[in-house]
Amino acid sequence: MPGHNGRDLRLLQGNECCAEAAILAGCRFFAGYPITPSTEIAELLSEKLPQVGGKFIQMEDEIASMAAVIGASLTGAKSMTATSGPGFSLKQENIGFASFTEVPCVIVNVQRTGPSTGLPTAPAQADLMQARWGTHGDHPIVALYPSTVPEVFDLTIKAFNIAEQLRVPVILLMDEVVGHMREKVAIPHQSEIEIVSRPQPDVPPEEYLPYAAGPDGVPPMAPFGTGYRWHVTGLYHDETGFPTTAAPKVDRLMKRLYSKIESAADEITFTSDEFLDDADTVVVACGITARSARRSVRLAREKGIRAGMVQLKTIWPFPYDLVGDIAGRVDRIIVPEMNMGQLIGEVERAAKGRCEVVGYSRVDGEPIAPAEIVAKIEEV
């Protein structure tokens, strides 16, 4: 139905919202494999993508899905897959390939309780580190983490834009609760949505160096089949794209892959906070736990406790400076998370001992309630 400012007001599930946003972001290829709690994304895209001339395919496994997504992206199609923990593990080798060959793509991981088959399909937030370090070797990666259905919309659009801008796989980490929850979302008109597409070469094919980066560290990417014949390999390669074992070139490639993310860090770091100005206790959280954190600091304020909170919508690259600044101003940081303690390690790295860092883990397949965080705030 038409809503405020001409926007389309919809009641959408997080997974549905992700699929709708993907199409508005320009996604025209999806390859996936059924896995709860992400399957609604594939189901909706199997219906919607061909309506806009896009392609959907259900592959024979998770590995093939990731491979097909990379293949489609090489032709210029904005491409995406969606999965959950076990499938995310299987995709990792090819995620590394996409990262190393700089092929833009979006990977949605609607997390469930692991390890292994785990607790299908209760929520958990235990894939933070897999999102960062799931594939072997050093590699750049970006991971975004919504806590509401409207944020799913916003961050799905951003995930595609960042993938294209930086030529990097972007992981959209979702909580099962967010994936399956229904909330009101105001869907903007296509013309209101900022769309970013990968940089294109401005030289003729004979002068094209597929891995020669501009000042932003991102090389222009010619789609396959447009006259720019180039080579893609998971071997170390130089600016020509062909394999090299020369130590200076190997070193230069790895450092550029890191620096292209670092130099864009400010643009791709998204956070939200409340009551930070005078807080002496700050809760740092992400995803569904950030919603409980928001509620918990409001409840604490009612009790006269000077509590504040920060929601990290960008998990990777981790906002070390931002969290470090907070650590320098407060007495303690509380890190509630639905895992055995993954986010807290990064918070401690950022805090560098400047404040007390206290964790709160819940790993029974249930979300963390605001009262639990209030109790932790009062306890310390």
Partner 1 sequence: MAVPIDDYLRTQFMPHIWCPGCGHGIILGAVLRAIGRLDLPKDEVCIVSGIGCASRAPGYLDFNTVHTTHGRALAFATGIKIARPDLHVIVLTGDGDAAAIGGNHLIHAARRNVGLTTVMFNNSIYGMTNGQYSPMTPRGRYASTAPYGNVERNFDMCELVRAAGGNYVARATTAHARQLSNYVENAIQTPGFAFVEAVTQCPTYFGRRNKMGTPVDMIEWFRKNSINAAAAAKLDPADLDGKIIIGEFYRGDAPEYTEVYDEVIERAKEAAAR
Rule CB under 8 A: is residue 47 a binding residue for partner 1? yes
C-alpha to C-alpha distance for 355 and 334, rounded to whole angstroms? 10
C-alpha to C-alpha distance for 69 and 103, rounded to whole angstroms? 9
Rule CB under 8 A: is residue 34 a binding residue for partner 1? no
C-alpha to C-alpha distance for 59 and 68, rounded to whole angstroms? 8
- Please select the residue that binds partner 1; options are 5, 51, 191, 245, rule is CB under 8 A: 51
Tell me the pairing of strands 8-13 and 27-32: unpaired
- Please select the residue that binds partner 1; options are 19, 23, 44, 72, rule is CB under 8 A: 72
Query: Pattern 93-132, binding to partner 1, x per CB under 8 A?
Result: xx--x-----------------------------------
Rule CB under 8 A: is residue 6 a binding residue for partner 1? no
Contact region with partner 1 (CB under 8 A), list: 13-21, 60-68, 162-170, 250-258? 60-68
For residue 271, the cross-strand partners are: 312
C-alpha to C-alpha distance for 55 and 296, rounded to whole angstroms? 44
Q: Is the peptide bond before 204 cis (omega within 30 degrees of 0)?
A: no
Rule CB under 8 A: is residue 22 a binding residue for partner 1? no
Tell me if residue 281 falls in helix, strand or coil. Answer: strand
Tokens describing residue 294: 């928001």
Rule CB under 8 A: is residue 276 a binding residue for partner 1? no
Task: In angstroms, give the least distance from the CB of 120 to partner 1.
Answer: 23
For residues 179 and 14, the answer to whether their CB atoms sit within 8 Å is: yes
Task: In angstroms, give the least distance from the CB of 48 to partner 1.
Answer: 8
State the sign of the Cα–Cα–Cα–Cα dihedral 109, 102, 159, 13: negative
Dmax over CA atoms of the chain, in Å, equals 69
With CA atoms as reference, report the closest residue to 121 among 81, 180, 162, 172.
Answer: 180
Rule CB under 8 A: is residue 69 a binding residue for partner 1? yes
Tokens describing residue 10: 């919809």
Nearer to partner 1, 76 or 336 (CB): 76
Nearer to partner 1, 214 or 234 (CB): 234
Nearer to partner 1, 6 or 243 (CB): 243
- Non-local (6+) Cβ contacts of 50 within 8 A are 56
Rule CB under 8 A: is residue 190 a binding residue for partner 1? no
Task: In angstroms, give the least distance from the CB of 31 to partner 1.
Answer: 6
Rule CB under 8 A: is residue 63 a binding residue for partner 1? yes
Nearer to partner 1, 37 or 76 (CB): 76
Nearer to partner 1, 12 or 80 (CB): 80
- Please select the residue that binds partner 1; options are 119, 193, 232, 250, rule is CB under 8 A: 232
For residues 357 and 348, the answer to whether their CB atoms sit within 8 Å is: yes
Q: Which residues bind partner 1 (CB under 8 A)?
A: 28-29, 31, 47, 49-51, 53, 55, 57, 59-61, 63-65, 67-77, 79, 93-94, 97, 224-227, 229-235, 242-243
